[in-house]
Amino acid sequence: MKKFIAVILLLAITGYGIWNALAAEKAKEVGLSVGNVAPDFSLRTLDGQAVRLSDFRGKPVIVNFWTTWCPPCKKEMPDMEKFYKAYHSEVALLAVHLTSQDTRENAKSFVSEYQISFPVALDEKKKALKLYQIQTIPTSYIIDRDGVIRRKIVGPMTYKQMVEATAEFRK
């Protein structure tokens, strides 16, 4: 009987250790490095809707920081629209307009001119700019369905790069 209790106790301790190890793996740190959980933020879109990054959990997302006066931003927007039209059911796209560095009116005109159909959030008070320590634009983050940063891309992306950067997360 003592051996039976010892075996049960040993199994319970082993099970607890395995459970703790798995729980620690899931509890990732919030931060800006690849492998960190992306910091959450809440902004308003051009049409006044509140949007949180965490609203996209369950679906991979590209978060793109940009302005209208940035030539590389202008260059990548048609490819972003093309990507969004092709993959919106598999990957979300959130464009964060750094309105504190530009204007709401410029963003609105830009979205109309480029016929942007994906969500454009306005960072009017530098919340996301500071939170993500954005220094170069455009900067994009590829975030998986669990909210974990998988890639950071500084500079403009092409359609092909977007497809390749999100391929493993679209499965």
Instruction: Please check whether residue 22 lies inside any domain of the structure.
Output: no
Q: Considering the domain boundaries, does residue 124 fall inside one? A: yes
| pLDDT tens track for 85-127 | 999 999 999 999 999 999 999 999 999 999 999 999 999 999 9
- Residue 7 falls inside a structural domain: no
The CATH code of the domain that includes 72 is 3.40.30.10
Residues 6+ apart with CB under 8 A from 106: 67, 68, 69
In a domain, 97, yes or no: yes
Domain that holds residue 104: 29-167
- Tell me the pLDDT tens digit for each residue of 121-161: 999 999 999 999 999 999 999 999 999 999 999 999 999 99
Distance of alpha carbon 155 from alpha carbon 56, whole angstroms = 23
Model pTM score: 0.83
Q: Does residue 72 fall inside a structural domain?
A: yes
Is the Cβ–Cβ distance between 95 and 64 less than 8 Å? yes
Structural domain includes residue 68: yes
Q: How many separate domains does the chain show?
A: 1
Q: Is residue 69, in this structure, part of any structural domain at all?
A: yes
| CA–CA distance, 99 with 129 (Å, rounded to integer) | 10
Is residue 105 situated within a structural domain? Answer: yes
